[in-house]
């Protein structure tokens, strides 16, 4: 009996041992964020040469007539892991196929792709970057005055501790001017300046002698003065305002700043009764203190402030491929493009909306199916045992032959 009779069982044990290693690695990574499982596949070596570099050492790649089994691995890149909420402001999960975060290595700037969205921050040379748990810099479209840039770069977390107030540029007042019983009626409107958190501007209506349903409007404000008045307001016999319905005033602040306010009083009335204000609206806002930075459901990295303002830093770059299953696994949470992945494209370019694809404050858990892996483990263990029995049987038969010849 030739020694080659041991080859099938040896290759079988080697292949099944590797398959057990694959199953064990998958199970070990059942809680690794963004992990994509591997599976070991088998091919026959019957009557042909080995085509795979992971064949057992005893077999030469040029050896013809080899019997046995070969193995190779593939990564289930497009398998979707469950989405798990974390509450972390920088965590974000991809809920869909063929979309990957683009990241770069700190040293060398090599580009990789990952589904692991457990992001954090890292400060380097005084600049704070958004990075992966492994320290790779997350890529994104930088924020501009009118949206986001067209090319990607490292996402920097640069927020102001405090944002200034937003000056009032327009205001509307809905109120009633008493038709009788008073000579003056005053209304307060909060107006924000470039350097203050709001002051009350008094809008005073005074009856004009000798004119029916006519009032003179003057303005005054703390820490400043108002130009643009006095203004004469006229109501009709049905108590509706005739003119002026809209006009501009300018607030000149004592600190040298100023802002023009477009006033809308078109819905003011002149009925008998009280002078109560029904509604006042204006578009200014006070200054605000930094509350937090976070990633929203459209992949925008931003900071929020106590006055309700939000300032964007960047938009996460999500990349898709013609053949994503052909990506080269680096460590099963990181992948690299190659000649077989085809053309890449940004899933969420600067002008694209991706609502529904991302889930903030969550991560995509490992895609390992534990029940399936345990089933594979039983099959692999049984196959390995059968190969060892085959090896032992061959060994006993060979020993019998040797004994007969001696």
φ, ψ at 387 (rounded to 5°): -70, -35
- Residue pLDDT, tens place only, 101-110: 999 999 889 9
B/e letters for 17-56, b = 16+ CB within 10 Å, e = fewer, are ebbbebbebbbebeebbbbbbbebebeebeeeebeeeebb
Q: Residue 65 above 80 pLDDT?
A: no
Res. 146 pLDDT band, cuts 50 70 90? confident
**pLDDT at position 2:** 59
For residue 118, give Cα distances in angstroms to 86, 177, 297: 9, 59, 15
Q: Cβ distance 2 to 369 under 8 Å?
A: no
Q: Residue 246 above 90 pLDDT?
A: yes
Q: Residue 350 above 60 pLDDT?
A: no
Res. 353 pLDDT band, cuts 50 70 90? low
Res. 177 pLDDT band, cuts 50 70 90? very high
Proportion of the chain above pLDDT 70, given as a percent: 92
* Average pLDDT estimate for 228-236: 94
Q: Residue 85 above 80 pLDDT?
A: yes
Res. 67 pLDDT band, cuts 50 70 90? confident
Q: Cβ distance 400 to 393 under 8 Å?
A: no
- If you average pLDDT over every residue of the chain, what do you get? 89
Q: Residue 383 above 80 pLDDT?
A: yes
Lowest mean pLDDT among 29-33, 263-267, 380-384, 387-391: 387-391
Res. 50 pLDDT band, cuts 50 70 90? very low
> Which residues touch 247 (CB under 8 Å, ≥6 apart)?
228, 231, 262, 263
CATH of region 170-282: 2.60.98.20
> Which residues touch 311 (CB under 8 Å, ≥6 apart)?
143, 159, 160, 163, 302, 303, 305
- Residue pLDDT, tens place only, 101-138: 999 999 889 999 999 999 999 999 999 999 999 899 99
**pLDDT at position 52:** 41
229-236, Cβ contacts within 8 angstroms, sequence gap of 24 or more: 232/208, 233/177, 233/205, 233/265, 233/268, 235/177, 235/269, 235/270
Q: Residue 352 above 80 pLDDT?
A: no
Helix (H) or strand (E) holding 388: helix 370-405
Q: Residue 55 above 50 pLDDT?
A: no
**pLDDT at position 56:** 41
Q: Residue 20 above 80 pLDDT?
A: yes
Q: Residue 405 above 80 pLDDT?
A: no
**pLDDT at position 8:** 85
Where do the CATH 2.60.98.20 domains begin and end in the chain? 170-282
Lowest mean pLDDT among 41-50, 195-204, 213-222: 41-50
Tokens representing residue 211 in the block: 């004119």
Residue predicted with more confidence, 363 or 276: 363
Look at phi and psi of residue 108 and say left if phi exceeds 0, alpha if psi is from -120 to 50, else beta.
left
Q: Residue 243 above 70 pLDDT?
A: yes
Q: Cβ distance 110 to 104 under 8 Å?
A: yes
**pLDDT at position 66:** 62
Nearest to 237 by CA among 214, 208, 213: 213
> Which residues touch 362 (CB under 8 Å, ≥6 apart)?
83, 84, 85, 86, 91, 92, 93, 117
Tokens representing residue 44 in the block: 């026959």
* Average pLDDT estimate for 8-14: 89
Tokens representing residue 88 in the block: 């972390």
Question: Half-sphere exposure of residue 402, counting CA atoms within 13 Å on the CB side?
Answer: 8
Helix (H, G, I), strand (E, B) or coil at 232: strand
Res. 216 pLDDT band, cuts 50 70 90? very high
Look at phi and psi of residue 62 and say left if phi exceeds 0, alpha if psi is from -120 to 50, else beta.
alpha
Res. 394 pLDDT band, cuts 50 70 90? confident
Lowest mean pLDDT among 37-46, 135-144, 168-177: 37-46
Residue predicted with more confidence, 403 or 48: 403
DSSP for 61-112, written as a single string: TT--SB-SEEEEEEE-TTPPPPEEE---TTBEEE-SSS-EEEEE-TTT--EE
Instruction: Give the number of other CB atoms < 10 A from CB of residue 305.
Output: 21
Q: Cβ distance 10 to 58 under 8 Å?
A: yes
**pLDDT at position 150:** 87
Q: Cα separation of 402 and 406, whole Å?
A: 6
* Average pLDDT estimate for 13-19: 93
* Average pLDDT estimate for 257-286: 92
Residue predicted with more confidence, 401 or 134: 134
> Which residues touch 368 (CB under 8 Å, ≥6 apart)?
26, 27, 29, 30, 35, 37
| Rg (the chain; Cα; Å) | 37
* Average pLDDT estimate for 48-63: 43
> Which residues touch 224 (CB under 8 Å, ≥6 apart)?
193, 199, 251, 252, 253, 254
Q: Cβ distance 165 to 194 under 8 Å?
A: yes
């Amino acid at each position: 009996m030739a020694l080659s009779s041991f080859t099938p069982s040896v290759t079988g044990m080697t292949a099944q041992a590797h398959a057990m290693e694959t199953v064990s690695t998958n199970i070990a990574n059942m809680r690794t964020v963004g992990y994509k499982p591997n599976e070991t596949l088998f091919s026959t070596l019957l009557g042909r040469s080995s085509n795979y570099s992971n064949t057992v050492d005893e077999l030469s790649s040029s050896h013809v007539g080899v019997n046995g089994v070969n193995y190779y691995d593939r990564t289930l890149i497009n398998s979707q892991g469950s989405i798990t909420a974390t509450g972390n402001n920088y965590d974000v999960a991809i809920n869909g196929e063929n979309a990957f975060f683009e990241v770069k290595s700190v040293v060398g700037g090599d580009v990789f792709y990952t589904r692991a969205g457990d992001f954090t921050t890292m400060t380097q040379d005084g600049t704070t970057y958004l990075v992966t748990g492994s320290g790779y810099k997350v890529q994104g479209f930088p924020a501009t005055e009118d949206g986001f840039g067209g090319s990607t770069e490292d996402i920097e977390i640069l927020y102001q501790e405090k944002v200034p107030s937003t000056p009032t540029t327009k205001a509307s007042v809905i109120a009633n001017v008493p038709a009788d019983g008073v000579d003056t009626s005053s209304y307060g409107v909060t107006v924000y300046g470039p350097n203050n958190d709001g002051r009350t501007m008094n809008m005073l209506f005074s009856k004009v002698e000798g004119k029916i349903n006519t009032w003179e409007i003057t303005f005054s404000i703390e820490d400043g003065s108002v130009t643009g008045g006095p203004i004469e307001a006229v109501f009709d016999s049905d108590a509706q305002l005739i003119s002026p319905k809209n006009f501009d005033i300018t607030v000149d602040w004592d600190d040298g700043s100023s802002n023009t306010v477009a006033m809308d009083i078109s819905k003011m009335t002149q009925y008998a009764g009280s002078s109560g204000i029904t509604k006042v609206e204006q578009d200014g806002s006070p200054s605000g203190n930094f509350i937090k930075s976070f990633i929203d459901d459209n992949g925008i990295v931003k900071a929020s402030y106590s006055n309700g303002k939000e300032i964007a830093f960047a938009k996460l770059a999500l990349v898709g491929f013609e053949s994503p299953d052909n990506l080269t696994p680096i460590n099963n949470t990181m992948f690299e493009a190659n000649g077989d992945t085809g053309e890449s494209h940004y899933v969420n370019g600067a002008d694209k909306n991706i609502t529904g694809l991302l889930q903030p404050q969550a991560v995509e858990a490992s895609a390992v199916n534990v029940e399936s892996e345990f089933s594979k483990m039983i099959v692999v263990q049984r196959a390995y045992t059968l190969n060892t029995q085959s090896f032992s049987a061959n060994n006993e038969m060979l020993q019998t032959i040797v004994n007969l010849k001696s």
